[in-house]
Amino acid sequence: MNDSGIVYPTVDEMIEFNIMVLNVIKTKKADKSEILSYSKIKDIVEGCKKAQGDIYDKAAYLMKQIVGQHAFASGNRRTAFIVTKFFLSANHEPFTISDNPDYARIMVGIREKYYTDAEIKNWIKNGTIREFKRH
């Protein structure tokens, strides 16, 4: 697939996904749908477009940046998961990570920079990643 044919999430879609995950996947009473930085969301989308590599490199970039940039008050990891899944689905590529609540720990590892970009890409593409362990 050449780059011109890639479908990227829009800023508005990312905001809608954040609202959706906060309403559907409740984890804390304090969860609130609030944008902390519209410009960070825009930068994530633009950075994904410029990211080098294949569709899975771009997906890994998207996931890592949504988690790391913390553009939303709540639900950044949940939003990163669903936006990445949407991105690959919109581009007719498989997203092999199962919907397993245990993977919340992996998302913490991504936030804490425990995983390399290659490991994140492999997880998204092949569904396997090493266990997250704090040092």
Residue 9: count other Cβ atoms within 10 Å of its Cβ: 22
Query: CB within 8 A of 97, min separation 6: which ones?
Result: 81, 85, 103, 123, 124, 127
Cα(129)–Cα(135) distance, integer angstroms: 17
Domain at 8-24+34-126, CATH class: mainly alpha
Residue 23: predicted pLDDT? 85
pLDDT in tens, 9-66: 999 999 999 999 888 876 666 677 778 899 999 999 999 999 999 999 999 999 999 9
- How much of the chain exceeds pLDDT 90, in percent? 76
The reply to whether the predicted model has a pTM over 0.75 is yes
Mean pLDDT, the chain, as a whole number?
Answer: 91
